[in-house]
Amino acid sequence: MANHSSNIKRIRQDKKKALHNKYYAKTMRNAVRKLRATTDKDEAVKLYPTVQKLLDKLAKTNIIHSNKAANLKSSLALHINKLG
């Protein structure tokens, strides 16, 4: 266990940040899952900008890597284009 008060505070902050990041990462995964499960093109087109915005925000704050966000956006766009 940490002996210095600054280390104890750092541990406390890290737990809080980890919980925050886990929440947003799970929210992102659910949004992507929901969009991939959509079979209606109009609904998918409406949902895509919100998912894209969420991915960009998470990449900007380094919760996910920027390349992962780009890969997800690309694959989701391909999925939407394949819908008929």
Q: Could you read off the pLDDT of 18-36 as tens digits, one per residue?
A: 999 999 999 999 999 999 9
The answer to whether 56 touches 72, Cβ cutoff 8 Å, is no
Q: Could you read off the pLDDT of 5-15 as tens digits, one per residue?
A: 999 999 999 99
Task: Please give the CATH topology (third level) of the domain spanning 5-82.
Answer: Methane Monooxygenase Hydroxylase; Chain G, domain 1 (1.20.58)
73, with CB counted inside 10 A (0-12, 13-18, 19+), is middle
Is pLDDT above 90 for 50? yes
Is pLDDT above 90 for 1? no
